[in-house]
Amino acid sequence: MRVAVAQFSSKLGDFESNLEKTLQFCSEAKDQGAKVCVFPELNLTGYNVWDITFEVALPLDSPKLSPLLEMSREIDIVVGLVEESPEHVFYNSAVYVSGGRIKHVHRKVYLPTYGMFDEGRFFGHGNRVETFESAFGKSSILICEDLWHMSTVYLSFVQGAKFLFALSSSPGRGYRETGMFGNAEVWMNMGEFYARMTGSYFIYANRVGCEDGFVFSGKSFIANPYGEIVAEASPFDEELLIADLSEELVRSARISLPLLRDERVETTFNNLRRVLDEG
């Protein structure tokens, strides 16, 4: 099972250009034998959409997405976009597209509003973390800030996800002499930890390039179920990262560390209810 991660530089607000590049990456990934091609958060719109959120948003039945749906007959695709709901609420969303249709939608649950971030002013909060059947097996999608809250990964874990698609547009902070940003190193540490503790593949797609003064930190990577980085991209360049995945390795990791078997969801639920009741 082969996955491709497209480390992508978006043009802010230019859906047509971003879509064209997305399709080019998908075609290249298909030619290299990948079953799924994964893109960063909001790759179809750019990240800092704030004042143009309402111009770049699309309903999920928009004809503009037709070329993407058609490409998904040849390779499954995970992309990020601004979704407009039927109620005209706007979401930072990621969709899994397969066989000519949108198979799964994840709306970003946690919207950062600190430091350089201002998502909460423009987007609605998602309220569900679910699993779905990808080309690889039971999977879950989470978006950037979601992964800084362990609850989202836990919810994916207890629902049996074996493949975590982590989409990000993470601006670089704390440049290191090692040629990477400090936040990229933190992401790798996080991916290693989550992969090992859940016995899952952690597939991290981050963007590169500059946008409104932000420099994005790249270093997309894939961690295997033993928490080992098996593929990683550069800090600055657009590229297609390819790795082979093995469900047998998931099985092996979960036999050696049977945390899912031993998890007590009812204990977690009862204690969360107690905490809420106690205020």
Residue 175: which pLDDT band, with cuts at 50, 70 and 90?
Answer: low
| pLDDT score at 249 | 97
Number of domains in the chain: 1
Residue 214: which pLDDT band, with cuts at 50, 70 and 90?
Answer: confident
Question: What CATH number is attached to the domain comprising 234?
Answer: 3.60.110.10
Q: Average per-residue pLDDT in the chain?
A: 94
Residue 174: which pLDDT band, with cuts at 50, 70 and 90?
Answer: low
pTM above 0.75, yes or no: yes
Residue 149: which pLDDT band, with cuts at 50, 70 and 90?
Answer: very high
Range of the domain at 152: 2-277
Q: 216-246 pLDDT, tens per residue?
A: 878 999 999 999 999 999 988 999 999 999 9
Pairing relationship of beta strands 163-168 and 138-143 according to DSSP bridges: parallel
Question: 144 pLDDT exceeds 60?
Answer: yes
Residue 135: which pLDDT band, with cuts at 50, 70 and 90?
Answer: very high
| 166 vs 206: CA distance, rounded Å | 8
| pLDDT score at 11 | 95
Q: 95-128 pLDDT, tens per residue?
A: 999 999 999 999 999 998 877 788 889 999 999 9
